[in-house]
A and B are shown apart, each in its own frame.
Chain A
């Protein structure tokens, strides 16, 4: 991009527009290649490696590159591992729905009902602030909250609602669901608020002047216009929950085993091929979910 682009008509048969396009393209490639190279070497290649190693032969403490489907057969015939797939899908679906149900009204309030820009920003910032605490600390913070001697049991007992501490609160699937919903909810609130904030208020006012009830306005205007936000939020929440293992590891008391937990424990016992199989299964699930979501929303257009 120098000032000399349009200087002299060149002797080549190409038009200036064509030349410029070619030059722009070369420049774009030059600027992009370091990033794309980085992604290829350090993301695509490792992922290809996972697929490759899932067909390696696992011996007691190591793998060798003799190709076999033994790990796959063992994985697909084991009730424990098939159970992990089911657990992963179940937790993902419940957390996804929970984040939508919990987050949507908040987004509705912040995006549509708060007209004051400062208050709107303040509320959004308030939602984001917990992210400045370490992820692992936010997970562990649920232990003193939900434990048998934790805050919730203590309050409920003081109020006389229960006489015995509730034991299902911590070290159960329940605590994993609560923890994940709290941690990932904001990724749902953000995009939905953003989409709701873009709705032209006069459209809603027009509908109301024409006699539409709030239910109708919500169903016919607000909900459709906010759906791209729900989709973007769902993509965020889905990829994060599906790849999770830390929350389950620290809040479920080893009762909930997601595919991520399987990978971690297999790597811990040096069963690389087996971890790779679990990794490929997880990749397939995530790819399917993202592909489905991308059919419903164009990510590039929404950003």
Chain B
């Protein structure tokens, strides 16, 4: 390859691309430290953490009303947790089913995958119409929840499918034929192999549901989830408190990511220690 020109050019391009990707967030982070009398733009009048205090309710009442984050944050976390549990269980079960070949597996596969393809605004509309017709009250823990699972279950399913594809079935069969009980086999053989996948599926489901907005918009009823609360502020003028909020939620998500990383690391190091004992 003519890498003498091409490689540096592509490297520079990638750097510019990352700048494009991160630029808005960097600007937003800088502006979140705007002073109380400053607006959501440059210049920074004075550096301050006023908008963080404002967000958390420590600032004195001002011209800007506080973002309604408290309750909605709790709702979003509970909803994401419910979604994670259900979609991971469904994902593992379905992927396990796909380990054997059976008639009709093609349509079944596409029916599941469709869940991540259908635009949220469409299923949201459909669910709202359905609940109107059937007289079911719309609520974040009901109508929104089932749609969140429709969205995240395909992701969990695909992750588990990828794990099972690499999973040699004979290992399980060897364990069983050596007289180990199915329960013991699952605990000692199957589970350790699929656990990283389960963890990834859970991470996917949680972050997707936590941030899901289109599917919730028509189906949440009166009580808002976090993305809905943010969306509500879009129509009015924006203030740096949204920026402060953006920075804080990003930090929260990173905490989740770090927990995931630590769990993964701890698990893999434990697994390698175990195989080390086997060798000895």
Contact = CB atoms under 8 A, between A and B. Distances in A.
- A interacts with B: yes
Interface of A: 1-3, 24-25, 27-32, 34-36, 38-50, 53, 102, 105-106, 108-110, 113, 123, 126-127, 130-138, 140-145, 147, 149-151, 154, 182, 185-186, 204, 208, 213-214, 217, 235, 239-240, 242-246, 249-250, 260, 263-264, 267, 272, 275-276, 279, 282-283, 286, 290, 299-300, 303
B153 to A, nearest CB: 6
Given A49-B130, A279-B125, A110 B182 contact: no
A138 B150 CA distance: 24
Contacts of B2: 213-214
Contacts of B132: 272
Interface string B1-44: 11100110011011001101111110110010000000011110
A89 to B, nearest CB: 15
A303 B162 contact: yes
B115 interface: yes
Nearest to A303: B158
Given A2-B182, A24-B100, A42-B127, 6 more contacts: A133-B253, A136-B213, A186-B21, A260-B119, A286-B117, A300-B106
A3 B25 contact: no
A40 B111 CA distance: 8
A40 B18 CA distance: 41
B25 A133 contact: yes
A39 B150 contact: yes
Interface residues of B, number: 95
A35 B90 contact: yes
B97 A28 contact: yes
Contact of A126 (B18, B149, B256): B18
28 contacts: A2-B176, A3-B176, A24-B100, A38-B150, A46-B129, A113-B1, A113-B6, A130-B22, A133-B249, A134-B227, A135-B211, A135-B213, A137-B28, A138-B24, A141-B28, A141-B243, A141-B246, A144-B40, A144-B41, A182-B21, A213-B2, A214-B6, A242-B119, A249-B234, A263-B121, A264-B217, A276-B125, A286-B118
Contacts of A267: 125, 128, 218
User: What are the nearest 7 A-B pairs in CB distance?
Assistant: A243-B119, A46-B126, A141-B24, A137-B246, A31-B97, A132-B253, A109-B10
Nearest to A108: B10
A67 to B, nearest CB: 14
A246 B28 contact: no
B214 interface: yes
A164 B23 CA distance: 22
Interface of B: 1-3, 6-7, 10-11, 13-14, 17-18, 20-25, 27-28, 31, 40-43, 90-91, 93-94, 96-98, 100-103, 105-106, 108-109, 111-115, 117-123, 125-130, 132-133, 146-147, 149-150, 153, 157-158, 161-162, 172, 176-177, 179, 182, 207, 211, 213-214, 217-218, 226-227, 230-231, 234, 238, 242-243, 245-246, 249-250, 253-254, 256-257
A290 B28 CA distance: 36
A41 B143 CA distance: 11
Contacts of A140: 28, 230, 234, 238, 242, 246
A220 B15 CA distance: 28
Contacts of B28: 137, 140-141, 144
Nearest to B182: A2
A279 B126 contact: yes
Nearest to B40: A144
Contacts of B117: 235, 239, 286, 290
Contacts of A25: 100, 102-103
Contacts of A154: 42-43
Contact of A43 (B25, B41, B118, B253): B118
B100 to A, nearest CB: 4
B13 A109 contact: yes
A267 B137 CA distance: 16
B129 A50 contact: yes
B94 A239 contact: no
B204 to A, nearest CB: 11
B230 A136 contact: yes
Contact of B230 (A44, A137, A214, A249): A137
A245 B121 contact: yes
Contact of B93 (A31, A48, A264): A31
